[in-house]
Amino acid sequence: MDDPICPLCLRPIPPGVRQSLHHLVPKLKGGKGGPVVLLHQICHNEIHATLTEAELAREYTAIEALRGHPQLAKFIAWVRKRPPAFYARTPGPRRKR
């Protein structure tokens, strides 16, 4: 069976690689029990470092919308050059206050 594909960066998620489920609508904003997607942990961290829960709930409830965000698009272009098992700690929040 093929490894699942991260819908954000489109790289495979091999077994044993840090991964997590992302709620397309944040749990705090009514998304508990809603749709989730399996992402690399580094991709999930980047989403939450870039966008607030309110922004996620308001404008970024679909993978296509997340991929279209300018900061996330830059991250995706960067991480796609890394091997599927690549992980690095995500620096603190990059969102504008």
Q: What is the mean pLDDT of each run of 10 residues along the chain (97 residues)?
A: 94 95 93 94 96 96 97 97 91 64
Helix (H) or strand (E) holding 77: helix 70-79
pTM recorded for the entire structure: 0.92
By C-alpha distance, which of 10, 38, 14 is closest to 24? Answer: 38
> Contact 85/15 with Cβ under 8 angstroms?
no
**For position 63, what pLDDT does the model report?**
97
* Chain CA centroid to CA 6, Å: 8
pLDDT value for 1: 75
Q: Which helix H or strand E contains 54, and what residues bound it?
A: helix 53-59
pLDDT of residue 96: 59
